[in-house]
Every structure is written in structure tokens, then in C-alpha cells.
Amino acid sequence: MPRALDTLALTGICGVLLVAFYYQFALDELPCPLCALQRVGFIIAGVGLLLNLRAGYSPAHYGLVLLTSVVAGSASLRQIALHVVPGSGSYGSALFGFHFYTWAFVGYGALVVYTGVALLLEGNRPARDLAHDVSRGRSPIAAAVCWLFVALTAANMLAFALECGLGPCPDNPTSYLWWPRGD
């Protein structure tokens, strides 16, 4: 069961990255530096879950999820704080009434809660049960989700290389550095 939950959580992270891509390329909303930091957080949290599915369960993997959730959650909180004062504007469009940095903060909170629940569930299981989990993590559905996640990490790397090149991203990006689109 916990490996199925890890697969579900990794699917959620893939969904977050896909929505971010949709807004970036279909609606032409370029991510800012703090947005990039939040995306890295989801990627590293996904790596922690991926490790559980592919290399076997370890509390250390959930530790990686927790650490990156706290750091990237702080980045989203920083961005929320930038816009909390009335009249200070916002960055990007809203989804269901909240901007993406607010959703990212909710997402990292959910990851912290999920990690706590998963550790509670795993902590009471005998070690021999955990050994079977690696094979469950190699089920066709889990494997498809894992490969989708790896493909999305590669796509993010390319997208940010196009936007920022090898240097720091501009504070308020309006075009791609390495992708002249002719508009």
C-alpha cells in the first residue's frame, strides 16, 4: 500500500509540473527565479519518492522530501509575502482563485503531511514486508509514472536553459534567452 501511495504522490508531482509547463508554453507565462526554485523543490521531492519506488524504501528518502519541501515551501512563502500587501500586484495568472506560488505552498504542506503519514505507516511494518515493495514499485503503472517524471525533469532542464542560459534568470523575465520566437 505505501508504494501505491508513493506512486500516487509522484503522479501528483508530475501533474504539477505538467500544469506549470502548460502555463509556460501554451499561455506564454515565463517562470521567475522564485518560481524556478519552487519547481526544483517538486523535482527533488519526486526524486525521494522515485528512490522509494526504484531502490527500495528508506526513511532517508522521505528525509530528502521533507528537506526540499521546507526549503522550497519557504521560497513560495517569500513570494506570497512579496504580494501580500494590497496594491503590490501579483506574478502570473491565478488558478481557482490562487496564484501558483500559493498553490506551491499548499503543495509542499501536503507533501510534509504525506511524508509524516507514510513514515507512520512504514514504521509499524515488519522488514520482510518492505522487501516486497521494490517489486511493486516496478509495476507497469509505477514504471510509467517514474519514466514520465524523469522525462519532465529533463524537459524542465531544457526549458530553463532556453530561458536563462547558464547564468541567473532575470527577476522579471519577458523572453527566452536562447529561443528567439520572433514575437
Partner 1 sequence: MVLPFVMGWLAALLAMSGFRTGAMRVGLATVLIQVWWLVYHATDKLAVTL
Pairing of strands 94-95, 98-99: antiparallel
Tell me the three cell numbers of residue 65.
522530501
| Contact between 148 and partner 1 per CB under 8 A | no
In the complex, the smallest distance separating the C-beta of residue 73 from partner 1, rounded to whole angstroms, is: 10
DSSP state of 69: H
**Residues 9, 32, 111, 118: which binds partner 1 (CB under 8 A)?**
32
| Contact between 17 and partner 1 per CB under 8 A | no
CA angle centred on 11, ends 147 and 46, rounded to 5°: 70
Contact between 126 and 52 (Cβ < 8 Å): no
Cite the beta strand spans of the chain per DSSP E: 94-95, 98-99
Which stretches of the chain bind partner 1, using CB under 8 A?
32-34, 36-37, 39-41, 43-44, 46-48, 50-51, 54-56, 58, 60-61, 64, 67-68, 71-72, 74-75, 78-79, 82, 88-89, 91, 146-147, 149-150, 153-154, 156-157, 160-161, 164-169, 171-172
